[in-house]
Amino acid sequence: METKYFRLIKTIVEEGNLANATEKLFLTQSALSHQLKELELQLGFKVFFRKRNQWELTEEGTELYHLGNTVLSSIEKGLNDIKKIQAGSTGTIKVSTECYSFYHGLPGFIQRMGVLYPEIQVDLNLEATHHPIQKILSNEIDIAIVTLKPEDNSLFCIPFFEDEILAIMHKEHPLNKLKKIMAKDFYQEHLIIHSYPLETVSVYQQWLKPNNVMPLKISAVPLTQVALEMIEANIGITCMPLWALKLFKIPENIVFKKVGNKGLKRTHYLVVRKADKNKKYINDFILNFKEQFSVM
C-alpha cells in the first residue's frame, strides 16, 4: 500500500472532509476522490461514510487510520534520523603526522576519499608535522598519525599498522659483519635521519635513547633518494621500514639488517579527540584509512 493513501486518510480525518483536504494535499477534489475510490477498490471495503460536511471512518477505516499514523510516524522519524546522519557526514578533517615519511600514500588516499565521500574534505597540515599531538590538543588538526601512543585522557587511539625498523647500510660496512646489531654498536656510527627533532626519529626515541646511546654523528637528509646514495657510497647508515622505500630503486650494494634481539617493531596509531570519535565523517575517514593502510 502506497504511503500517499495513508496521508490521504489522515488528512481527511484531520480536516473533516475531502473538500478541506485539497488545500493540505495540493490536489483537486476530483483527484483526491479518484485516489480514495481506487484505494477502496484495492482493499475491498469502504474507508469513510460520506456525509455532506463531515466524513466518518468505517470500522475498517479506523484500523487503517491507526495503521497509517504508525507508518507515517515511523517514516518521519526515519527521515529525521537520516538527516541527522547526513549532517554528521559532512566536515573538514585536518591530518598531520609525526614524520614526513609517514605522508607516503596519503595523497592517493585523499583523492580516493574525494571520490567516495565528496562531502568530506581532507587537508594535510604539513606545518603540524613533528608536533601532531600538541596540534590536535589545540584543535589545529583533527587526526594525528603517530607511533607512540599518547597518554592524554582526552585523546582516543586506533592502532592500524605494525612495521619493523631495519638498519640499512652498504654491504661492506663493518656492522654488516655482525650477526646481531645492538644499540651500543651505534656509538661510533654516522646515523642518517630524515629530519629533526630526534624525538620523532623512531630508532632514536624507541631504541637508542632508552639505552643511553648517542651516535658519533647525525645528519638530517630529508630526501630519501639522497640518503640511499650516501649509503651506497658507504657514508653512514640509516634506519627505516621497507614500505618507506617502495617508490625507490634500491642499489645492489645496500643490505638490510635487523636491530636488537627481537627486531625494532612499532605500532602506528590514528589519534583523534574523544569528543570527535563518534562523528560520522571522522569514522568514515578512520574506517577507510584502516582498510587502505593496514598493510603497506
Instruction: Provide the CATH number for the domain around residue 63.
Output: 1.10.10.10
pLDDT top residue among 184 and 27: 184
pLDDT digits (tens, 9 = 90+) for 201-219: 999 999 999 999 999 999 9
Provide the mean pLDDT of the chain.
90
Amino acid (1-letter code) at residue 229: E
Name residue 122's beta-bridge partners: 93
**Domain count within the chain:** 3
pLDDT digits (tens, 9 = 90+) for 155-200: 999 999 999 999 999 999 999 999 889 999 999 999 999 988 888 8
pLDDT of residue 296: 64
Contacts 24+ apart (CB under 8 A), 171-180: 171/253, 171/254, 171/255, 172/234, 172/253, 173/234, 173/237, 175/237, 175/257, 176/255, 176/257, 178/257, 180/258, 180/260, 180/261
Pairwise CA distance, residues 111 & 144, whole Å: 19
pLDDT digits (tens, 9 = 90+) for 89-112: 888 999 999 988 888 889 999 999
pLDDT top residue among 85 and 100: 100
164 backbone φψ class: left, alpha, beta (φ>0; ψ -120 to 50): beta
Mean pLDDT of 261-270: 93
Q: Which residues contact 241 (CB under 8 A, 6 or more apart)?
A: 163, 164, 165, 166
Query: pTM score, two decimals?
Result: 0.69
Do 226 and 110 lie in one domain? The reply is: no
Do 32 and 57 lie in one domain? The reply is: yes
Range of the domain at 61: 3-87
Do 96 and 182 lie in one domain? The reply is: no
Pairwise CA distance, residues 220 & 97, whole Å: 18
Query: Are 53 and 17 in contact, with CB atoms under 8 Å apart?
Result: yes
